[in-house]
Amino acid sequence: MARDVGSTESRKSGGTGSARAGAKMQAPILGKTGTVDVEDAVFGAEVKPHLVHEVVRAELNAQRAGTAATKSRGLVSGGRQKPWRQKGTGRARQGTIRAAQFTGGGHAFAKVPRQFIQKVNRKAAKAALRAAFSSHAQAETLAIVSADQFDAPSTKAAKALLDTWGKATPTVVVALHEEETIHKSFRNLERVAVISPTEVEVGAIVWARSLVITEAALPIVQGRAS
């Protein structure tokens, strides 16, 4: 069996390739030639698909209302006596019109309100969030944008930035609520979603094929995942 030389060297040096070179991980700035340093612990973490899958399922289950309900045969009206006598009619014996086979009867397996909440360990949830961010960093689909680039809201300018970047959509843009120029510039673009750092979830990051974070929102995002 061939040995994985890269992974062996990484274990010996105690880190990833970027850590071996002594340089921090960086993300490009849209519309500029510079880059921004990002935390290795957040954007250079190990990607664990099974953990991401578990957390995404929990997030989707948490969105379910669980209010569906139907009536069982004990809740519908009528049926206090046999609809016809037991024998002599030629028809199958029946005990009540509340049974599921009758029109207006109760459901055989009635739905009842329930909760779909799936408990996930806090450390596991943060690890999954780091894995989602790291997958974008590894695929080079992560970029930074500065609110200073927008003196006024401009959907045309926002589209030009994304087109120049050339990454696949859908795109998620993470920006602070007070960064109105960013929100108003990107929110009308097709297949682009603008969310705040407090709304960042693993499902949203995994759904996105490219991720854009504002410089002001970056510390908050890194704080939530670390």
Q: Where are the domains of the chain?
A: 10-58+119-225, 65-115
Question: What's the whole-model pTM score?
Answer: 0.79
Q: What is the pLDDT of residues 125-159, one digit of tens each?
A: 999 999 999 999 999 999 999 988 999 999 999 99
Average pLDDT of the chain?
Answer: 90
Query: Residues 134, 120: contact at Cβ < 8 Å?
Result: no
CATH 3.40.1370.10 fits 10-58+119-225, yes or no: yes
pLDDT of residue 23: 58
Residue with more model confidence, 167 or 23: 167
Residue (of 178, 209, 215) closest to 193 by Cα position: 209
Return the pLDDT at 15.
41
Inter-axis angle of helices 122-138 and 49-62, nearest 10: 120
Distances (CA, A) of 78 to 73, 87, 102, 167: 10, 22, 12, 63
Which of 19-23, 125-129, 220-224 bottoms out in mean pLDDT, i.e. has the lowest? 19-23
**Using an 8 Å Cβ cutoff, are 100 and 106 in contact?**
yes
